[in-house]
């Protein structure tokens, strides 16, 4: 382990977090809040600058970055970012429990949207801003952002980007990793700005539009009013957010291809077709099952389209209590929670690409049983899938299942039934937020013990980083010095 480069990189990340806290300080001053709110951010900023200086004052002589260092930097960065990001809530007293503040902040950075708050409207504007702003930061990835503004980190940071950008396969869209990061963030922020504009055109105030734009862009789902999106009671706002969530669930590389005029690469993308087909199929199936629950078809489609968009993109915004829907719809929604959106997007879950590869591999095995002498090749995205990719997907699924059920076992003593424990882990590990049972859309995670909240916090970070960077932190050989 090259401790020097790990400390230097994390130090830079801490400085970036310190600089980003300028925005909630400005919000506190604009809304003339009590001084403690601005000071809680300023104190945290000082701590971040000091810790960043101690860790990474000088770039090490041996600055080579390998896969292990990339994974460790990614895992540790998300842990320390969540901890320091929680301090303003704790110092200001608006979330007096440090464990609760850590849970809320990790939920924000991982774009989960799970909350311990029972009255979100009790928070001040600056705290609401920071809470939702973490979605925007974490959506594309704080380390990707750091690489975008600090190109001196070098092109070896491809190992960091691989660890932070979700999906079974990572590919740069231009030759240099720093340039790729900048392009992705320009597209990301541009789409966020358009979302804010369209929400304002629907009558939503600027502050509300910005924060809901943060949630849609990061596919996070923190609401700023009790009842999430329901209090706005606007079909237009719901439609804008539904479309925005689906668009942010698309692989951002495809938007680069669109800007470059390569429309063919977009429309031929197999994962995109799977993604849209799953959304359409879920909407049709759930709408049919709700035919006796809602009167007009338009009202039914409005609620189903929003809910499906929110669940498959692992955003977590809500307009209705879908826990009251029939059991068949719960099964579909749970499946959508596990599927997630496309690789290379801001969403969580297993990712559509993995599901596609697994499905095609399963069909290939069935054909092989029927015709054992026939040579079969699994094809995805118009090319043969290498055995190494298939093996990687299968191994990830095994590790995913082991970690998932381990988390269920750890939190089960805290909940009254299996549905609640299973759903709580599914909603946090897949970075969704609300689930079913005691963590349904009208409830919070406040009733869990501190132990379970810490477990679910680790689960959120592990799910956002696709497990490996967090697991590596607990392995002894990881810390062996070169």
Per-residue pLDDT reduced to its tens digit, 175-203: 445 566 677 788 889 999 999 999 999 99
* Residue 242 domain-assigned (yes or no): no
Rounded distance between C-alpha atoms, residue 460 and residue 462, angstroms: 6
Lookup result for tokens 């090319």:
383
Query: Average pLDDT for consecutive 10-residue bins of the chain (482 residues)?
Result: 82 91 96 95 96 80 70 88 96 95 95 92 96 90 58 47 47 51 82 96 95 92 89 93 94 85 86 94 93 83 94 91 89 91 84 87 81 74 79 88 95 89 92 86 89 95 88 82 68
* Residue 288 domain-assigned (yes or no): no
* Residue 191 domain-assigned (yes or no): no
Structure tokens at 297: 């078809």
pTM for this structure? 0.89
In the chain, the number of structural domains is 1
* Residue 51 domain-assigned (yes or no): no
Structure tokens at 411: 């939190």
Q: What pLDDT is recorded for position 161?
A: 47
179 Cβ neighbours under 8 A, 6+ residues apart = 151
* Residue 453 domain-assigned (yes or no): yes
For 384, counting Cβ atoms within 10 Å of its Cβ (0-12 exposed, 13-18 middle, 19+ buried), the class is exposed
* Residue 420 domain-assigned (yes or no): yes
Rounded distance between C-alpha atoms, residue 212 and residue 311, angstroms: 16
Rounded distance between C-alpha atoms, residue 455 and residue 422, angstroms: 14
CB 306 within 8 A of CB 241: yes
Other CB atoms within 10 A of residue 452 CB: 23
Q: Residue 189: which of 130, 248, 132 has the closest Cα? A: 248
* Residue 435 domain-assigned (yes or no): yes
CB 394 within 8 A of CB 358: yes
Q: What pLDDT is recorded for position 179?
A: 66
SS3 211: helix
SS (H, E, C) 132-191: HHHHHHHHHCHHHHHHHHCHHHCHHHHHHHHHHCCCCCCCCCCCCHHHHHHHHHHHHHHH
Q: What pLDDT is recorded for position 350?
A: 85
Q: Residue 13: which of 87, 61, 81 has the closest Cα? A: 81
Q: What pLDDT is recorded for position 146?
A: 58
Domain of 450? 352-479
* Residue 411 domain-assigned (yes or no): yes
Rounded distance between C-alpha atoms, residue 237 and residue 232, angstroms: 8
Q: What pLDDT is recorded for position 28?
A: 96
Q: What pLDDT is recorded for position 284?
A: 94
**Sign of the C-alpha dihedral computed for residues 226, 232, 237 and 238 taken in this order:** positive
Beta strands 383-384; 379-380: pairing state: antiparallel
Q: What pLDDT is recorded for position 46?
A: 97
């Amino acid at each position: 382990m090259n401790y020097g480069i790990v400390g230097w990189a994390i130090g830079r990340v801490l400085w970036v977090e310190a600089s980003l806290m300028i925005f909630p300080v400005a919000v506190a001053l604009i809304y003339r809040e009590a001084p403690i709110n601005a000071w809680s951010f300023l104190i945290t900023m000082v701590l971040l600058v000091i810790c960043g200086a101690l860790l990474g004052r000088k770039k090490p002589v041996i600055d080579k970055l390998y896969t292990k260092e990339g994974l460790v930097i990614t895992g540790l960065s998300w842990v320390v970012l969540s901890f320091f990001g929680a301090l303003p809530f704790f110092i200001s007293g608006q979330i007096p429990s440090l464990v609760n503040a850590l849970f809320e902040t990790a939920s924000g950075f991982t774009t989960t949207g799970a909350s311990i708050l029972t009255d979100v409207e009790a928070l001040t504007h600056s705290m609401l801003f920071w809470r939702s702003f973490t979605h925007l930061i974490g959506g594309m990835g704080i380390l990707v952002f750091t690489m975008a503004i600090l190109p001196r980190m070098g092109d070896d940071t491809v190992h960091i980007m691989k660890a932070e950008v979700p999906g079974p396969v990572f590919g740069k869209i231009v030759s240099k990793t720093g340039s790729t990061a900048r392009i992705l963030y320009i597209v990301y922020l541009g789409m966020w700005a358009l979302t804010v504009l369209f929400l304002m055109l629907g009558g939503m105030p600027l502050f509300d539009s910005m924060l809901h734009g943060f949630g849609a862009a990061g596919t996070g789902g923190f609401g700023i009013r009790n009842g999430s999106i329901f209090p706005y009671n606007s079909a237009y706002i719901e439609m804008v957010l539904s479309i925005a969530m689906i668009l942010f669930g698309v692989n951002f590389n495809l938007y680069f291809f669109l800007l470059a005029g390569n429309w063919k690469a977009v429309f031929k993308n197999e994962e995109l077709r799977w993604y849209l087909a799953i959304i359409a199929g879920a909407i049709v199936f759930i709408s049919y099952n709700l035919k006796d629950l809602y009167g007009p078809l338009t009202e039914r489609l409005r609620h189903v389209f929003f809910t499906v968009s929110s669940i498959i993109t692992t955003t977590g915004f809500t307009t209705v209590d879908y826990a009251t829907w029939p059991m068949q719809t719960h099964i579909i929604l749970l499946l959508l929670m596990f599927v997630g959106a496309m690789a290379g997007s801001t969403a969580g879950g297993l990712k559509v690409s993995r599901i596609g590869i697994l499905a095609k591999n399963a069909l290939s095995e069935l054909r092989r049983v029927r015709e054992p002498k026939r040579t079969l090749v699994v094809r995805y995205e118009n090319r043969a899938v290498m055995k190494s990719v298939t093996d990687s997907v299968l191994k990830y699924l095994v590790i995913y299942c082991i970690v998932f059920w381990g988390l269920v076992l750890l939190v089960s003593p805290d909940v009254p039934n299996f549905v609640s424990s299973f759903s709580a882990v599914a909603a946090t590990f897949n970075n969704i937020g609300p689930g079913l049972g005691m963590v349904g859309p009208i409830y919070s995670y406040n009733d869990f013990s501190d132990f379970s909240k810490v477990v679910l916090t680790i689960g959120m970070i592990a799910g956002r980083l696709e497990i490996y960077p967090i697991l590596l932190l607990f392995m002894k050989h990881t810390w062996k010095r070169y």
